[in-house]
Amino acid sequence: MNPPPRPRLLIHVGLLRLVFGTFVLALPWPAPASDGVAGLWQQTYWGEFADVLMQQFGRDAERLPHALDFGDSYADVVLPRYLVGGVPMVVFFQMDKAGRGLKRIQLERPRHGVNPPAYRALLMALQSDFGRPDRVCAIPVLPAGGLQAGSEEQWDRDGTTVSAIFRDTTIQAFEGCLFGPATGSCGLRGQLLIRIGPPDNDGDPCSLELRYRR
C-alpha cells in the first residue's frame, strides 16, 4: 500500500474544534451515523491510514482542510455527527504523527451541548455495550484543579481502554453544571469526551488527578 500523503498544516485545536462543532450541528445534515461506541471500534483497526477510514465510513466521513493537533497525534478525518445513546458527537480519528496510522479515537460533544443529561445518556450507552466500568475517577472542586470538577469512567476490553470524561466549567467553588445550582448548559469550557485507545503507559489508570476504585 502506498503511504498516505503527509499531514496537512497543524493548527491550534481548541478554537477550531469549538467553531467546527458549532458549525456542523447547524448544517442540515441527514440522519447521523449511529452504531454506538462498540460499533465504531469494531469498524476500525489501530494503524490504518486516513484514506482507508474515508473509504470505510463513506459519506459519513469528512476530510478536514487543515489537520487538528492533538499533541502526540493529529486528526484530519472526522465524522461530523455520530450518535451515541441518542447524543450527537463529533468523532476525531487521531493519527500517529510518526507512522500516520490510527492511534486513538476521540468522540467529543460540541461545547454548547455539554450538560449532565448528555453525560448520563452516554454512560447508559457505554454500560449497555461494556457493562459496569472497571474504574471511576473524580476530581473535586479545588484550587489546585482550577476549581473545575470532573468525572471519568473507564472500561478495559481486549487491550483497549474506553473512557467517558466529563469536565465541568466552574471557576468558583460549588458552582457550575456538575454539582452546583447551574444544572443547564456547562458553557464553553465544559468538556464531554469519549476516548478509545490503548491503555496509558504512565502508571496512572485515569487521566484525572484524583481517583478511587469502584
Strands (E) in the chain, as ranges, are 62-69, 73-84, 87-96, 102-108, 135-139, 150-157, 160-167, 191-197, 211-212
pLDDT at 107: 96
Place of cell 445534515: 29
Give the domain ranges of the chain: 13-25+32-106, 111-212
Give the whole-number percent of the chain exceeding pLDDT 90. 43
For residue 32, pLDDT over 70 is answered with no
Q: pTM here?
A: 0.72
Quote the CA–CA distance of 147 and 169 in Å, as a whole number: 9
